[in-house]
Copies of this chain bind each other. A is one copy, B any other.
Amino acid sequence: MDDDESREHVVPGSDEEPDTPDVRGYDFRGEFDLGALLDAYATTGFQATHLAEAVDIAKRMQEADATVYLTFTSNIVSSGLRETVAALVREGYVDVIITTSGSLAEDVIKTAKPFKMGQWDADEAALRERGINRLGNIYVPSDRYVWLEEYLYDFFDDFFAEKPIRTPTAFARELGETLEDEDSVLKQAADNDVPVYCPALTDSEIGNFLYYYRQGHEDDVDIATMDDYEDLIEDGMLADTTGLIAVGGGVPKHHAIMTNLFRGGADYVVYISTGMEGDGSLSGATPEEAVSWGKIKENETNYTQIEAEATLVFPLLVAAAFEM
């Protein structure tokens, strides 16, 4: 290889200038302004650009008067994002919630007793001795579950009095109606007529206490899920436009995109996820993958994914995209 050929490889030059914006970060001169920072994120690159896209898409969901689905994993309610979710519902920005069962159990507990800050690298055997459950860097003392058991038994009596086989949405709504805490997701959902879908309702302490309840009382009470699935599908088909904000992955995220398939895909989509694309998981699957299934409508600028742990970015998205 001669030198000229090599130079051609190293410094090929280019005539063409892309007609995209310049990469340029926030200008810290002058008074700090969060809105301007998030605007600057659009041209900061990497994930900051995705957060700016998410803000834009969430605003456009509102302008388009979309039916907004908010999905989240249970640990979101374990964390201080519970209050952010409740605020979004309270302000009327959410039409459908889909989540997992731990969210319901923990939201109810927090109406009476707080979770406590903890350490990731605790001595877990010692914690077990002390009756303290660790959930990341959050501690949940076991007495919370003693309290929850009592609370649920009272509730079960009323809930199953109507009929022995009930749905998760009825469970969430009627339970929410019993709560008084304005920061409760379930209470706000009940007050604002937002259905809370939870297809795997048994998979938490709710299932555990339902198990004990059936042992002690009537063994014919049960949870059945197809009526909910029907409603979720049909409400989606009736909606003119849908928007989806998926905080974390798992069953909630899939439930939302799967039922949006019936209407030809969601119109606006924001994912916040730590999932890894390369493991082929649903949790790690990009919005692009969902396009091939028809679960998200193809449209270059209507979906994005922020690769981030949600506590870092979800409150910023809410602050920037919604009038709170």
Contacts and interface: CB of A to CB of B under 8 A. Distances in A.
A78 B23 contact: yes
Interface stretch (A61-69, A169-177, A218-226): A218-226
A226 B289 CA distance: 34
A12 B315 CA distance: 35
| Residue with the highest number of chain B CB atoms closer than 10 Å, among A7, A47, A132, A319 | A47
How many chain A residues sit at the interface, stated as a range, is 35 or more
A185 B204 CA distance: 26
Contact of A48 (B80, B264, B292): B80
A298 to B, nearest CB: 4
B278 A32 contact: no
A9 interface: yes
Number of copies of this protein chain within its complex: 4
Interface in A158-192: 165
Contact of A79 (B21, B276, B280): B280
A44 interface: yes
Contacts of A124: 288-289, 291-292, 298
B225 A201 contact: yes
A82 B28 CA distance: 12
Interface string A275-287: 0111111111100
A241 interface: no
Contact of A251 (B251, B261, B316): B251
B279 A78 contact: no
Given A45-B117, A118-B20, A226 B222 contact: yes
Contacts of A227: 222
Contact of A298 (B43, B47, B125): B125
A275 B279 CA distance: 10
Given A9-B261, A280-B136, A309-B279, A211 B225 contact: no
Interface of A: 1, 3, 5-7, 9-18, 20-29, 32, 34, 37, 40-49, 51, 73-75, 78-84, 87, 91, 100, 102, 114-118, 120-122, 124-125, 127-128, 130-139, 141-143, 145-146, 149, 165, 199-204, 207-208, 210-212, 214-215, 221-230, 233, 237-238, 248, 250-251, 254-255, 258, 261-265, 274, 276-285, 288-289, 291-294, 298, 306-313, 315-316, 318-319, 324
7 contacts: A18-B116, A24-B114, A75-B282, A121-B288, A125-B298, A128-B292, A203-B251
Given A134-B293, A210-B229, A211-B230, 12 more contacts: A1-B264, A7-B212, A28-B324, A45-B78, A124-B289, A133-B292, A136-B279, A200-B225, A204-B254, A208-B261, A248-B279, A307-B309
